[in-house]
Chains A and B, each alone.
Chain A
Amino acid sequence: MREVTLEVSPGERKAIIGPNGAGKTTLFNLITGVFPPSSGEIILFGKEVTRWPPHKRTALGMARTFQITSLFPKLTVLDNVLLALAGVGRAKLVMWRPLSSYEKFQNRARELLDGAGYWDRRDVQVRNLSHGEQRQIEVLLGLASDPKLLLLDEPAAGLSSGESREMAEFLKRLDPSLAILLIEHDMDVVFDVVSSISVLHFGAVVEQGSAAAIKRSERVQQIYLGTG
């Protein structure tokens, strides 16, 4: 990555697009702290977090989903969500009280799962869900910690067009104060969900602007939309 300057304001919905290998996921890994950057800085909610480990950034109110589904396949839907809920706050180091006895987690999990229509199937192991369902749980896990900034890495990857539309609707319904940074190849989803777009090419930002402006940009057409 080089010379990428990217800003996301509270409540903003922004997409990062670019051809394969443009460095989109790498950018996410830098933002979330999976790898440290060799230079430059990352500021999260006004704090310099360039060298922070991922779990501390999460505590500040950041969440992320993965392009390749990264759930806990042998755990139930409910346990997946509960793990995500307990990830922020102090409860995660408690050893003397069952997780199932935390009512705030149970209630919040019910809220989330009810909202997405999974409460009835809370005891199903995640590996037994369909791919589309797993993508939705993936997003639910991102939402569980009540983040202020959500990074979505191709939430619609591998979904049918109908499922993609559902996913877009789902994302649009989310709390408007939540800032979203979205990587997505499905342009219908992108234009449906976000208001601004940054275009990444060979590790650098080549174009930024409103969704409409990017749609019109010739350069973007050339490197991405036209050829892609």
Chain B
Amino acid sequence: MKRIWILLSVLALAAAVAPFTGPFVILLLAQILVLGIIAMSVDLLLGYTGLPSLGQAAYLGVGAYLTAILATKFGFGLGWDFWLVVLMGMAAGAATAGFFGLFAIRASGVYFLMITLALGMCVWGLAYRWNSVTGGDNGINMRGRPKFGIELANDLTFFYVVLGLFIASFFALHLLVSSPFGKSLVGIRERELRMRILGYNTWLHKYIAFVIAGGFGGLAGVLWAHLNGIVSPVDVLLPASVDALLMVVLGGPGTLVGGLIGATVVVFLREYLATMVQWWQYVLGAVYVLTILYLPGGIMGLFKGGKA
């Protein structure tokens, strides 16, 4: 419980200082929160269920492309119906995961990694190749953010909306991981066979977790599209999935909050280190390797052993 209060205070602090951070930092903060949502969805799989997904960007892509296509081709989702798009993005992410899960959940460990990677590449291929719908290599430029009484085109307003959705996602996932279902995921991570003997249909539990993670991936995608104003096949590419996975590893798997911490570190390192030195990627790489070697609990592990 203490951890939640710390998180809420940090977020409240961020909300309070946001108006004074300057026009670029506010974008970075929003970016961190969106990445925080996708990282939490990866954490649900990796940290709680023990499924290392390398295809999470696929669901982000589905949500983002859906948002961009609805907005540019049908003018849909630029007013109050933005909230409908949020729901549709989640549904689309979940549906995609529901389909992919049929293949992926049969595997575990490194095979799960490979299958999710391959499925992610399918979505990339579709984004890249299906020119008439996705704009192919050029991607889709959005014309502007929604407005409904408030104008999301204002970066500060947009940040608050993203913050709200992040907090909602966090509480939903936090409740989920402490529920009987959430605890069953941890049991599956720890010892799947025992769970089956105890009466759990472990396939179903993993499948449902996979679908839920896809849903939150889709949500992140809707916000991602509006954040950048462009959706591009690069967003769906493998490095995006790897980033999400590494953010969780860096922040601390099985903690939910860890994803946000990982996203913060990665975003700031990437933006500011990249401005200073050309070999910033090696620094980031070294940070990852050192974390994996010496901090198996991630940054959260530094503050007393996280309780799964």
A and B touch in the complex (CB under 8 A): yes
- Evaluate contact between B201 and A70: CB separation under 8 angstroms: no
B270 → A minimal CB distance (Å)? 32
Residue of A nearest to B176 (CB): A95
Candidates A32, A58, A99; contact of B183 at CB < 8 Å: A99
B207 → A minimal CB distance (Å)? 12
Residues of chain B from 165 to 223 with CB closer than 8 A to chain A in the complex: 175-176, 178-184, 186-187, 190-191, 193-202, 205, 208
- Complex Cα gap A201–B55 (Å): 49
- Evaluate contact between A92 and B180: CB separation under 8 angstroms: yes
- Evaluate contact between B183 and A71: CB separation under 8 angstroms: no
- Residues of chain A within 8 A of B184, CB atoms compared: 83, 86, 92
Residues of chain B from 254 to 308 with CB closer than 8 A to chain A in the complex: 308
- Residues of chain A within 8 A of B191, CB atoms compared: 70-72
The verdict on A74 contacting B308 (CB below 8 Å), with A86-B183, A94-B179, A99-B179 known, is: yes
- Evaluate contact between A32 and B197: CB separation under 8 angstroms: yes
Q: How many residues of A are counted as interface, with CB atoms below 8 angstroms from the partner's CB atoms?
A: 38
- Complex Cα gap A54–B195 (Å): 9
- Evaluate contact between B180 and A94: CB separation under 8 angstroms: yes
- Residues of chain B within 8 A of A97, CB atoms compared: 175, 179-180
- Evaluate contact between A84 and B198: CB separation under 8 angstroms: yes
Residue of A nearest to B208 (CB): A93
A87 within 8 A of B: yes
- Complex Cα gap A94–B308 (Å): 18
Candidates B176, B186, B198; contact of A58 at CB < 8 Å: B198
The verdict on A96 contacting B175 (CB below 8 Å), with A54-B197, A74-B190, A145-B198 known, is: yes
- Evaluate contact between A75 and B178: CB separation under 8 angstroms: no
The verdict on A92 contacting B175 (CB below 8 Å), with A66-B194, A79-B183, A99-B183 known, is: no
- Complex Cα gap A113–B183 (Å): 19
- Complex Cα gap A32–B194 (Å): 11
- Evaluate contact between A71 and B175: CB separation under 8 angstroms: no
Q: B175, B190, B193: which has the most chain A beta carbons within 10 Å?
A: B190
- Complex Cα gap A88–B196 (Å): 11
- Complex Cα gap A185–B79 (Å): 73
Q: Mark A34-74, 1 if CB is under 8 A from B, else 0.
A: 10000000000000000001111011000110100011111
A162 within 8 A of B: no
- Residues of chain B within 8 A of A71, CB atoms compared: 191, 194
- Evaluate contact between B199 and A95: CB separation under 8 angstroms: no
For chain B, the bracket of interface size reads: 20 to 34
Residue of B nearest to A151 (CB): B197
Residues of chain A from 2 to 38 with CB closer than 8 A to chain B in the complex: 32, 34
Candidates A53, A75, A94, A145; contact of B201 at CB < 8 Å: A53
The verdict on A93 contacting B181 (CB below 8 Å), with A34-B193, A70-B191, A75-B187 known, is: yes
- Complex Cα gap A55–B192 (Å): 11
The verdict on A54 contacting B196 (CB below 8 Å), with A70-B191, A94-B179 known, is: yes
- Complex Cα gap A32–B193 (Å): 11
Q: B186, B198, B201, B208: which has the most chain A beta carbons within 10 Å?
A: B198
- Evaluate contact between B178 and A100: CB separation under 8 angstroms: yes
A91 within 8 A of B: yes
- Evaluate contact between B175 and A141: CB separation under 8 angstroms: no
- Evaluate contact between B196 and A98: CB separation under 8 angstroms: no
A82 within 8 A of B: yes
The verdict on A82 contacting B183 (CB below 8 Å), with A95-B176, A98-B175, A99-B178 known, is: yes
B48 → A minimal CB distance (Å)? 12
Residues of chain A from 85 to 119 with CB closer than 8 A to chain B in the complex: 86-88, 91-100, 102
- Residues of chain A within 8 A of B183, CB atoms compared: 79, 82-83, 86, 99
The verdict on A86 contacting B180 (CB below 8 Å), with A95-B175, A98-B175 known, is: yes
- Evaluate contact between A72 and B181: CB separation under 8 angstroms: no
Q: B186, B195, B199, B208: which has the most chain A beta carbons within 10 Å?
A: B199
- Residues of chain B within 8 A of A93, CB atoms compared: 180-181, 205, 208
- Residues of chain A within 8 A of B180, CB atoms compared: 86, 91-94, 97, 99, 102
A61 → B minimal CB distance (Å)? 10
- Complex Cα gap A201–B197 (Å): 26
Show 18 residue pairs from A and B whose CB-CB distance is below 8 angstroms, ordered by the A residue: A34-B196, A53-B196, A53-B201, A54-B196, A55-B196, A55-B200, A63-B197, A70-B191, A72-B187, A72-B194, A74-B190, A91-B180, A92-B199, A93-B181, A94-B179, A94-B180, A95-B176, A96-B175
- The chain A residues found within 8 Å of chain B, CB to CB, are 32, 34, 53-56, 58-59, 63-64, 66, 70-75, 79, 82-84, 86-88, 91-100, 102, 141, 144-145
The 6 nearest A-B residue pairs measured at CB: A87-B199, A58-B199, A87-B198, A72-B190, A54-B196, A98-B178
Known: A55-B198, A56-B201. 10 other contacts (CB 8 A): A34-B193, A58-B199, A66-B194, A70-B194, A73-B190, A75-B308, A79-B186, A95-B179, A98-B178, A102-B180
